[in-house]
Amino acid sequence: MKYYIEVGTINKAKQDIDEICRREGFTNLTHHNFGQGGVGRFLTKLVSVTSILWHLKKGDMLFLQYPMKKFYYMACSLAKMKGAKVVTVIHDLGAFRRHKLTPEGENSRLSKTDFLIVHNPTMRDYLIKHGFKGGIHCLQIFDYLSEASEISERMDCPTIPTIVYAGNLGRWRNAFLYKLGPIMKGWQMDLYGKGFEDKDNHCDKLHYHGFIASDDFIAKVKAEFGLVWDGDSLDECTGDWGEYLRINDPHKTSFYLRAGIPVIVWKEAAMAPFIEEEKVGISVNSLSEISERIAVLSPADYQEIKQNAIAMSHRLNDGYYIKSGLKAAEKCIR
């Protein structure tokens, strides 16, 4: 039997993986919800984890999503006590992002699992370097489920292409947005999200559209590229969020591609090799390179990138990548 513990969070990536587990026939150990307050969430998770004792048996598989707050070590230990195997998908590494753990301390936690599904080869190598000994599979990109039935399939790239940027638009997070004007030669940008200080926007090529629901974005927004970038610099991704791009797969990439929109990523990002190999976008060292990179794309080049993005949209909506990871895990631990 295959089991999972429902995450019960507003995190879209985790919710989608819960749903894919349900579709794949995993049994949910979260049978009771004691409310969304702090005590309620604690009791919900505690009861879910302790139910391992009377549900799991030798040879079963328990699938967990990490981080899992206080209960990850307990869940792994109880599963092992019952003779079950543990498979874990990583969303965030506390040692790398929040620096609340040492790499060795985090690997000590993760050593309780039999198989890890990690973001990409960079994250895999990092974990092995710091002591992980179990099986590992590289997800490559997070799936993205959406009820949007249609996406834009426009294949032509107009003379003045549109690049879209969606997410947190606050200056504290993405100050680079307020510096784009001088380098926007031959392209324009549409912004979607909250926090943009439109009164400070003096660039007529930068258009702020406010917040839009994710399914509406996927179904309605038309753009030639989606930008994955963080920080205050035009020349590299900076700050904690920018540095984290060197090892993680940002969910924003999945969001754009689910909408059938090819992506522009930082060349130093861990996702860059995958984006280039799959031909679903381009990578740049600096945002100032965008104008030249777009200018040299022939209509045939863009059509290939666009077609590949549309094909990937269907895979993301089917849960292709996490299902591949789960199959790899089952093969390894049997």
Q: Give me the DSSP letters along 169-213.
A: --HHHHGGGGG-GGG--S-EEEEEEE---GGG---TTEEE-----
pTM: 0.94
Residue 166 contacts residue 189 (beta carbons within 8 Å) = no
Identify the pLDDT of residue 242: 80
Identify the pLDDT of residue 201: 66
Question: If DSSP codes are grouped into helix, strand and coil, which group holds residue 241?
Answer: helix
Residue 66 contacts residue 88 (beta carbons within 8 Å) = yes
Q: Which CATH architecture has domain 162-317?
A: 3-Layer(aba) Sandwich (3.40)
Identify the pLDDT of residue 214: 94
- Average pLDDT by stretches of 10, the chain with 334 residues: 85 95 94 70 79 92 90 92 96 78 83 95 93 93 92 76 93 88 94 83 84 94 95 87 88 97 97 97 97 94 96 97 97 88
Identify the pLDDT of residue 238: 83
Identify the pLDDT of residue 91: 95
For domain 2-143+319-333, the CATH superfamily is Glycogen Phosphorylase B; (3.40.50.2000)
Q: Peptide bond preceding 67: is omega within 30 degrees of 0, i.e. cis?
A: yes
Identify the pLDDT of residue 150: 79
121 CB-side CA count, 13 A: 4
User: In which residue ranges of the chain is CATH 3.40.50.2000 found?
Assistant: 2-143+319-333, 162-317
* Phi, psi (rounded to 5 degrees) for 269: -70, 150
Identify the pLDDT of residue 200: 64
Both structure tokens of 207? 């258009």
